[in-house]
Amino acid sequence: MEKITEGIVLKQVKTVKGLRMVTVFTKDLGKIQAGTTMSEYQRGKAALTLRPFSYGTYHINSKNGYHFLNKAESIKYYYNLCQDMDKYAYGAYVLEFSNKYLEEEMPLPEYFNLLLDYLTLLEGRKKDFDMLHTAFQIKALSMAGTMPIVTHCVSCSKKENLNTFSVKDGGTLCDSCKDIKDSNEPGSLIYHINLGIINAITFLGKTDITALEKLKLDSNILEPLKSIINDYLKYHLDMGDLLSERCFMIT
């Protein structure tokens, strides 16, 4: 039975005899691996539908646990992301991130909309990509149910003197509990923070990403926030080092 659904191409791999394996994050089926004999060198907009950064309508046939892509129509190809090295770097990261973040065949419409909004904002943004990048990561953490706790101390629940963030503990520590931790221990992943960083995490986690189009963060807040969130993702979502991070040095 054929299923027609919107999707975003995360990855494409060429195999033998003209067959391609396309990783598509679909709105209705979740992330799927689909084989296809379609060619990206055909004429018209349909040629774009197999490439990463493509958003389109995909005709999927499934049989015995395998998916086959028979037809596709382009809705939008994020062409400008491929024309700017900085934008491409952040776009490549989010596609690789999504491929690792998403479970097979598990629809996540909220994340689907987040990814579309992010790509659209990134394409139109002229600078300050780091802020948008970090906001996307925080939203992804929130959707995964692993949002950092910054309203109280994760150890004793006190709400005062929250001047430390422990990646391993999942949030803020008060000064008393911080003293119990050995911050000099290798790999402790403990950061000194201030109210600006706490407010930024809270605001970015709660605010729709489309409302952040013109938002800027002071570098004194954004730079440590980037480090905290990157370490947090790797520790709590087991992201590890993504290839796009190492190639483009975007963290």
Q: How many whole angstroms separate alpha carbon 221 and alpha carbon 225?
A: 6
Output the pLDDT for position 44: 59
Instruction: Give yes or no for residue 97 having a pLDDT over 60.
Output: yes
Q: Which residue has the tokens 């494409």?
A: 12
Q: What's the half-sphere exposure (Cβ side, CA atoms, 13 Å) at 170?
A: 11
Give Cβ neighbours of residue 207 (< 8 Å, ≥ 6 apart): 135
Mind listing the domains of the chain with CATH numbers?
1-77 (2.40.50.140), 79-251 (1.20.1440.120)
Most confident of 7-11, 82-86, 217-221, 243-247: 7-11
- Indicate the average pLDDT of the chain: 90
Output the pLDDT for position 145: 95
Please check whether residue 239 is in contact with residue 147, taking contact to mean a CB–CB distance below 8 angstroms.
no
Range in 8-22, 39-53, 222-236 with the lowest mean pLDDT: 39-53
pLDDT more than 90, % of the chain: 74
Q: How many whole angstroms separate alpha carbon 187 and alpha carbon 64?
A: 46
Task: Decide which of 39 and 52 is more confident.
Answer: 52
β-bridge partners, 171: 149, 166
In sequence order, what DSSP letters do the residues of 89-136 get, joined into one string?
Answer: HHHHHHHHHHHHHSPBT---HHHHHHHHHHHHHHHH--S-HHHHHHHH
**Could you read off the pLDDT of 184-218 as tens digits, one per residue?**
555 578 999 999 999 999 999 999 999 988 888 99
**Could you read off the pLDDT of 133-161 as tens digits, one per residue?**
999 999 999 999 999 999 999 999 999 99
pTM: 0.90
Output the pLDDT for position 248: 52
Distance of CA 21 to the CA centre of its chain: 22
Output the pLDDT for position 140: 97
Output the pLDDT for position 200: 96
